[in-house]
Amino acid sequence: MERREFLRTCGTLITGGGLASLGGVLGSKASAVEGETMWQIDPERCLQCGRCETECVMRVSAVKCFHANQVCGYCDLCGGYYREGVKELNTAAENLMCPTGAITRRFVEEPYFEYTIDEDLCNGCGKCVKGCSSFGNGSLFLQIQQERCLQCNECSIAKVCVSGAIQRVPVGTAYKLKDHA
């Protein structure tokens, strides 16, 4: 029995030493300054493949359409608002790009319209973003709404994103926007 006790004490010491050195090695690789990381879409890489709508673990995706007003042309014929090739510019649902009616517009002054996204309705499908990038200034873009995101250890969308646009970033730079480009 004494031999057992001795062996066990040795084991304890070895394991303790192992844990301590593992902690040391990892500590040198850890970053206290940057702290936590968050998931972020790089709008410059996103191809609006549509997976952001379907792959997020939330029932309604944490990815939302963001609007960079500073970049927007305030056009009447908005590529993100109207479907491609609509005959009449009225707001009947069949003419509009957004499947959930999340985009509203407000007349500012001739000939400008201001566009706003209702985040509660947006499901991150990226249809408007595609329209805006193809026919407009590219002021609409998809981004992870950090207050909704659960910060999964591995983002389910990042895993399948066709362009590898979703990466971990330090909390300090959580949002990559287009406003100040």
Partner 1 sequence: MRNTVLVARFPKPDFTSGYQYPDVLHRVPMETFWSWVDVVLLVGMMGFVAWAVHRRRSRRAILAVSIVSVLYFGFFRTGCVCSVGSIQNVVLAMAGGDGYRLPLVVLLMFLLPLVFALLFGRVFCAGVCPIGALQELVNVRQWHISRAVTSALSFIPWVYLSFAILYAATRSQFIICRFDPFVGIFRMGGDVGMLVFGVLLMVLSVFVGRPFCRFLCPYGALLGIVSRVAVKRVKITHRQCINCRLCHHACPVDAIREPCGGKVAESRTIGTRRVALYLLLLPLLTVGAALLLQSQSDTLSMAHRDVWLYTQLRSDNPPAVLPAEVEAFHEMGRSMDELEASVVSVKESYRRLSAWAGALMGFVLGCKLVRLSLKRTRKTYEVDPSTCVACGKCFSYCPQAGRSTSQPMEQRAENGVYSNYPESRQRSSVAQHVNESTRFIKNSQHEEKHL
With binding defined as CB under 8 A, does residue 86 bind partner 1? no
What is the separation of C-alpha 160 from the centre of its chain, rounded to a whole number of angstroms?
13
What is the separation of C-alpha 37 from the centre of its chain, rounded to a whole number of angstroms?
13
Please pick, from the candidates 40, 81, 123, 139, the single residue that binds ligand SF4 as defined by CB under 6 A: 123
- CB-based burial label for 152 (10 Å; 0-12, 13-18, 19+): middle
Q: How many residues does the chain have?
A: 181
| Residue number, 87 or 180, with CB nearest to partner 1 | 180
Q: Are 178 and 141 in contact (CB under 8 A)?
A: yes
Neighbours of 44 (CB within 10 A): 12
With binding defined as CB under 8 A, does residue 89 bind partner 1? no
Look at residue 170 and give its three-state secondary structure: strand
With binding defined as CB under 6 A, does residue 57 bind ligand SF4? yes
Which residue type sits at 86? V
Instruction: Report the distance separating Cα 135 and Cα 81, nearest Å.
Output: 11
- Closest by CA to 78, choosing from 123, 21, 116, 25, is 116
Please pick, from the candidates 95, 104, 105, 152, the single residue that binds partner 1 as defined by CB under 8 A: 152
With binding defined as CB under 8 A, does residue 17 bind partner 1? no
| Residue number, 64 or 96, with CB nearest to partner 1 | 64
**Site residues (CB under 8 A) for partner 1?**
8, 11-12, 14-16, 19, 22-23, 25-27, 29-32, 34-38, 43-47, 49, 51, 57-59, 66-67, 69-71, 73-75, 108-109, 112, 114, 116, 133, 135-138, 145-147, 150-154, 156, 159, 162-164, 168, 171, 174-175, 177-179, 181
Binding interface with ligand SF4 (CB under 6 A): 39, 41, 46-49, 51-52, 56-58, 62-63, 65, 97-98, 100, 102-103, 117, 122-129, 142, 144, 149-152, 155-157, 161-163, 165-166
